[in-house]
Structure 1
Amino acid sequence: MTSSALEAEALALLTVEALATLVFLNQAWLILFINFLGVAGRIPQSRWQMMVLVLYLNSLEITGRENSAASKLLMQKNSSARSINEIRMLKIYSWIKSKSILGISYDLYVKLAGVKDEDKRQRKHSSEELPGLRECVVVLNPPDLQRKVLESIEVTHNQKTKNVFETEHKLSLVSVHPSLVSHCKLTGKESRTINEALLAQLKKVRLDPNQSVKTKFLMEFIKLCVVIKEKVLVFSQYIDPLKLIMKHLVNWFKWTEGEEVLYMHGKLEQKQRQTLINEFNDPKSKAKVLLASTKACSEGINLVGASRVILLDVVWNPAVERQAISRAYRIGQKRIVYTYHLVAKGTPEGPKYCKQAQKDRISELVFACSSRPDKGKEKIAEAVTEDKVLDTMVKHLKLGDMFDNLIVQPKEADLVEGFSILMP
């Protein structure tokens, strides 16, 4: 195979596959990433459970890890006769043939691909104009009945995927409201504690939000937001908690589903979904709360009518959480967006959130061209606007006991620092 043939094949395959496997880094973090992986240029087995070849397009060094046939062909030339493009094509060809990772600085990508980055600059400019984003981890104390059910959930150390998912599903549902345990498949050990008598008791308090610290927080929080005329967006990765909260809101506030409170789930058709979005964003509508599944609110959905975002449960993937927050914190938003990550004290939600936040922090440091909001969080440090809603709740004599701790993180760089209090 000639050098020209190698170049042609590499270019053809790159056109098809580049978007799926390219890793974009700025120049400084590209160097750091290379040093982190070491001279071998392979991600250690203990990290990914496999050996993954990593190639760097910015480097003009032929390391010997490239495709052997292509390397042999190119090495026939004197080093002085090898062009920069030939060395880069060798790396691209090797990357595609071995299904490895290709690291490339964004500046080099723009130069090679001839990309005009006007859209990125426009998004950055628009992000700088947003009022700001404030995040808060709200650690809550479960009441006795809820704590009893939570402590009855058997936290398995069996690493089978099915068992892990089932346990996390049960804990997530019960942390929203203990009566939701009736939607869970219990183990024999759990059934001995969560018996028929307890299930009957839970059924009686199903519509009582005070039996769960998260639903109690939610009802009081929404009541205050209604007074100051701010709309609330509530996210959960599961449908059952949202359905129950809908009943709580209808019962508690005497609201009507489809008017004051809206519900967006994955089974809605696009036309129905857009109608809900328009209704929620309309400042003249009756809509005050939108309950939404994280799966239903995909990228591109605009929910700037909300300035308060509540995340009921903790997800492993920080990108899912960022995408949910970005439904409200996006171009067109006129207010500071306040987000609240609800965590039940004494449950695995705390450690889970710590791990999620650490992954998010590492992602921000290494992958400089992420889609996450950047300038908005920095601007919060300059903002003097206080969270009057949360402040009122914390200082209220009858509500203050529900709070164990608050971690306000106006700057992403400050995350992870205060998470030790969430760990057991």
Structure 2
Amino acid sequence: YEGSGSGSGDVLPGLQIYTLLMNSTDIQHKTLTKLQNIMSTYHGYPLELELLITLAAIHPWLVKTTTCCTKFFNPQELSEIEKLKHDAKKGSKVMFVLNLVFRVVKREKILIFCHNIAPIRLFLELFENVFRWQRGRELLTLTGDLELFERGRVIDKFEEPGGQSRVLLASITACAEGISLTAASRVIMLDSE
């Protein structure tokens, strides 16, 4: 927000929070229905299935990034899922994020939070392929495997006024208390509630 230039009388625009409910793509619906049907046969709520459902809701290919996928999908299904990796249209959340990033004003910055690393890696590849952005320049990542000093450098680079960074993909677990990310004009939480 640049203000009207009149000084102290400027009023900042209000915070706007949206919760979007998205329709699954056909392949997502098929994958999620299969996982929900398997879930109904269990007593309790198995963490493996919860993880697979969370990932499939972002993009169906992400189920292949888990070690437990072979317990719930046969080799033929996994082979079909593998073919979807770079097809953004197969994941409703992926399509939404790419469309949003495409439409934002050039000087805006977007912060994308996710619990899991696999979606962060997928988005890195997609941003590189779709927008021709480079890691460390327009694309920054903040994950738990970064040393504290390096995390600070990433945050400083994202917060830099007029800097080249456009998107920060951050693992929620890496963003501990005390981290302030005020440069983002838009924040996306990928994981469902």
Matched with 1:298 is 176
**Counterpart secondary structure, 2:181:** coil
C-alpha RMSD of matched pairs (Å): 1.8
User: Which runs of 5 or more structure 2 residues have no equivalent in the other structure?
Assistant: 1-10
- Whether 1:164 and 2:46 are equivalent positions in the alignment is yes
| Cα distance in 1, alignment partners of residues 168 and 70 from structure 2 | 34
- Is contact 1:176–1:215 with CA below 8 Å preserved after alignment? yes
Cα 1:254–1:133 shift into 2, 3 Å: same
| Cα distance in 1, alignment partners of residues 13 and 39 from structure 2 | 42
**Counterpart secondary structure, 1:309:** strand
Q: CA deviation at 1:218?
A: 0.4
**Counterpart secondary structure, 1:135:** coil
TM, length-normalised to structure 2:
0.86
Which structure has greater strand proportion? 1
Q: CA deviation at 1:197?
A: 2.5
Which structure has greater helix proportion? 1
| Cα distance in 2, alignment partners of residues 255 and 217 from structure 1 | 18
Cα deviation digits, residues 108-155 of structure 1 (max 9, x gap): xxxxxxxxxxxxxxxxxxxxx864321111011111111111111122
Cα deviation digits, residues 310-329 of structure 1 (max 9, x gap): 00013xxxxxxxxxxxxxxx
**Counterpart secondary structure, 2:165:** coil
Matched with 1:197 is 76
Q: Which moved more, 1:164-173 or 1:150-159?
A: 150-159
Matched with 2:96 is 217
- Is contact 2:60–2:84 with CA below 8 Å preserved after alignment? no
| Cα distance in 2, alignment partners of residues 307 and 300 from structure 1 | 19
Matched with 1:173 is 55
Q: CA deviation at 1:256?
A: 0.5
| Cα distance in 1, alignment partners of residues 99 and 43 from structure 2 | 38
Matched with 1:75 is none
Amino acid at match of 1:183: T
| Cα distance in 1, alignment partners of residues 31 and 188 from structure 2 | 23
Matched with 2:166 is 288
Matched pairs, number: 179
User: Which runs of 5 or more structure 1 residues have no equivalent in the other structure?
Assistant: 1-128, 315-352, 354-424
Work out which of the residue numbers 139, 145, 153 in structure 2 matches 1:261: 139
Matched with 1:139 is 21
Matched with 1:79 is none
Q: Where do 4+ consecutive residues of structure 1 move more than 3 Å?
A: 129-132
Matched with 1:313 is 191
| Cα distance in 1, alignment partners of residues 181 and 12 from structure 2 | 14
TM, length-normalised to structure 1:
0.40
Matched with 1:150 is 32
Q: CA deviation at 1:283?
A: 2.1
**Counterpart secondary structure, 1:283:** coil
| Cα distance in 2, alignment partners of residues 246 and 203 from structure 1 | 18
Over alpha carbons, which structure has the higher Rg? Answer: 1
Q: CA deviation at 1:284?
A: 1.7
